[in-house]
C-alpha cells in the first residue's frame, strides 16, 4: 500500500492528474488508487484536506464513497454511544425536561421520566439512528446532485453524487473527533450540546435555553462552511463550471436547512 504525500498547492488548482507514487509510471497512476481495494484510497484521506482538487479529479473517473462515509458515520456513532454511557442518567433526564421549557409539577416530571428512555437505552438508540440517518442523508444528497446535474447540463451519476457527498463531508470527521475527545474527558453532568465544540453555540455564543435562536445556534456547525466549499470545488472540478454555479449547487441544501431554522426562530 502506498500513501502519496505532496506539498499542498492551491485549493483552486485543477490538475489533470494526481501525484504519481514513486516507482509507478504516470500512465499507470492515472487512477492513483488503482492497486488498492475499491473504496480504500487511503491517500485521499490526507489529500482531501491538503489538495482536494487532486482528490476530486481522481474521483471523477473512479468515484468512491464507502471509506469516508464509514469514518464519519462510525465516529459520530461512537461519540454518541460514549456520551450516553458516561452521562449521569438522573441528571440527563432532569436536564432534558428543563430544556423542553415546560413548567411541570414534580408528579408530572416523575411521570415523564418513567416514559422517557434512560441514558443507556439512548446510547443504543442514537447510535443506530445516527448510522441510518447518515446513510439516508448521503443518498438524498446524491439524488440532489444527480438532479442538479440534469438541470445544469452537468452529467452526474448517482454514484458520483454519493462520492461527492461523502468526501466533501470529511471535515465533519474533525469535529466529531474533537467531540469524542471531549466526551471521554467530560464530567458526568455535561450536556451534549456543550461538547459540540465547533457549533456556533458554544464556540461563539452561549444562549439561554429559552432563546428562540438556541436550536439554530447549537445546530449550526462552522465546519459546514468547509463542507460547502469542498462540495463547490468538487462540482466545479467535475463539471468544469464557473464558481457561481458551483457555489449555488454546493450551498443550496445548507441554505435551505439553516434558512428554515432561522425563519422558524424569527417566527417563534
Q: What is the pLDDT along the chain (268 residues), one digit of tens a residue?
A: 444 444 444 434 444 444 444 333 333 444 445 444 444 467 899 999 999 999 999 998 889 999 999 999 999 999 999 999 999 988 888 888 777 655 666 676 677 777 777 778 888 999 999 999 999 999 999 999 999 999 999 989 999 999 999 999 999 999 999 999 999 999 999 999 999 989 999 999 998 878 889 989 999 999 999 999 999 999 999 999 999 999 999 999 999 999 999 999 998 7
- The Cα–Cα gap between 68 and 130 comes to 15
CA-based nearest residue to 134, from 179, 217, 73, 191: 73
pLDDT (0 to 100) of residue 79: 96
In a domain, 10, yes or no: no
pLDDT (0 to 100) of residue 165: 97
In a domain, 35, yes or no: no
Integer-rounded Cα Rg, in Å, for the chain is 21
- The Cα–Cα gap between 38 and 159 comes to 13
Residues found in the chain = 268
The structural domain count of the chain equals 1
In a domain, 244, yes or no: yes
DSSP H/E element including 140: helix 119-152
Range of the domain at 151: 53-267
In a domain, 24, yes or no: no
In a domain, 44, yes or no: no
Residue 221: phi and psi, rounded to 5, are -95, 130
Q: Which residue has the cell 491517500?
A: 43
Instruction: Specify the pTM.
Output: 0.80
- The Cα–Cα gap between 120 and 51 comes to 41
In a domain, 12, yes or no: no
In a domain, 204, yes or no: yes
Residues 6+ apart with CB under 8 A from 72: 134, 166, 169, 170, 172, 173, 176
In a domain, 242, yes or no: yes
Amino acid at each position: 500500500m502506498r500513501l502519496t504525500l505532496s506539498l499542498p498547492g492551491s485549493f483552486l488548482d485543477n490538475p489533470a492528474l494526481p501525484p504519481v507514487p514513486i516507482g509507478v509510471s504516470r500512465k499507470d497512476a492515472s487512477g492513483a488508487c488503482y492497486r488498492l481495494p475499491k473504496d480504500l484510497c487511503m491517500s485521499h484521506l490526507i489529500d482531501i484536506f491538503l489538495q482536494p482538487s487532486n482528490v476530486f479529479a481522481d474521483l471523477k473517473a473512479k468515484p468512491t464513497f464507502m471509506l469516508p462515509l464509514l469514518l464519519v458515520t462510525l465516529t459520530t456513532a461512537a461519540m454518541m454511544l460514549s456520551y450516553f454511557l458516561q452521562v449521569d442518567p438522573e441528571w440527563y433526564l432532569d436536564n432534558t425536561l428543563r430544556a423542553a421549557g415546560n413548567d411541570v409539577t414534580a408528579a408530572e416530571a416523575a411521570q415523564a421520566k418513567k416514559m422517557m428512555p434512560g441514558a443507556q437505552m439512548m446510547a443504543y438508540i442514537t447510535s443506530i439512528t445516527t448510522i441510518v440517518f447518515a446513510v439516508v442523508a448521503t443518498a438524498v444528497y446524491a439524488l440532489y446532485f444527480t438532479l442538479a446535474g440534469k438541470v445544469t447540463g452537468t452529467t452526474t451519476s448517482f454514484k458520483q453524487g454519493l462520492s461527492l457527498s461523502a468526501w466533501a463531508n470529511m471535515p465533519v470527521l474533525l469535529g466529531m473527533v474533537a467531540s469524542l475527545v471531549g466526551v471521554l474527558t467530560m464530567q458526568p453532568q455535561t450536556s451534549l450540546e456543550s461538547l459540540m465544540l465547533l457549533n456556533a453555540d458554544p464556540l461563539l455564543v452561549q444562549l439561554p435555553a429559552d432563546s428562540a435562536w438556541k436550536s439554530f445556534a447549537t445546530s449550526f456547525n462552522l465546519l459546514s462552511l468547509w463542507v460547502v466549499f469542498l462540495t463547490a470545488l468538487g462540482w466545479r472540478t467535475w463539471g468544469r463550471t464557473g464558481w457561481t454555479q458551483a457555489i449555488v449547487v454546493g450551498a443550496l441544501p445548507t441554505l435551505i436547512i439553516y434558512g428554515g431554522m432561522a425563519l422558524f426562530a424569527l417566527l417563534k
